[in-house]
A and B are shown apart, each in its own frame.
Chain A
Amino acid sequence: SAVISQKPSRDICQRGTSLTIQCQVDSQVTMMFWYRQQPGQSLTLIATANQGSEATYESGFVIDKFPISRPNLTFSTLTVSNMSPEDSSIYLCSVSAQIETQYFGPGTRLLVL
């Protein structure tokens, strides 16, 4: 399976600011995804990060709030913009190594004060 790293691993931010999370994979992958895991909850897909084109967002998530970049097949970023305490969550990137199977990074733990 692919080795996935995320930066930062955790952060504490002030409301109204923005944080960019990086996801790096050790091999080229076609599909990369970003998930949110709110405290004590399951995982919810934010968007699919498409290489060379705009990300595909799920219902309830918009590009202005969660802009995503995917400049190549091994790297993606997710920005959480204009943060509020409700954005406090774990943000996870994942990659699809084969059809219908995904591997996850270690996550970024975000606390917004």
Chain B
Amino acid sequence: GQQLNQSPQSMFIQEGEDVSMNCTSSSIFNTWLWYKQEPGEGPVLLIALYKAGELTSNGRLTAQFGITRKDSFLNISASIPSDVGIYFCAGPGTEGAQKLVFGQGTRLTINP
């Protein structure tokens, strides 16, 4: 089946630094979703991308839908302690499908 590869698997940064993580696939995705999961919580949708080349921001977060439709990145600017968590990319397993495939996640740790 389709798989999403996220990198890096973990990041240890200083507060105030910018963060960049990405997600790639060997097959085309028509939608890219970015979620954040904090300890003890379910994943929360951060950004949804529906069009190749689309660049979308949500506060300090920016995500882009790669032009090849096989990748996406998420950037966080000026990180703060509450950015700590696991960030997952996800997309529909097949075109138009409701079922989601998830990446392995990027665990973000911030040193104050």
Contacts and interface: CB of A to CB of B under 8 A. Distances in A.
Interface of A: 1, 4, 31, 33, 41-45, 48, 58, 92, 96, 99-107, 109
11 contacts: A1-B45, A31-B98, A42-B103, A99-B96, A100-B33, A100-B98, A101-B31, A102-B33, A104-B45, A107-B40, A109-B40
B33 to A, nearest CB: 6
Contact of B42 (A41, A45, A58, A92): A92
A92 B100 CA distance: 13
Nearest to A47: B99
A102 B42 contact: no
A92 B96 CA distance: 22
B112 to A, nearest CB: 24
A1 B96 CA distance: 20
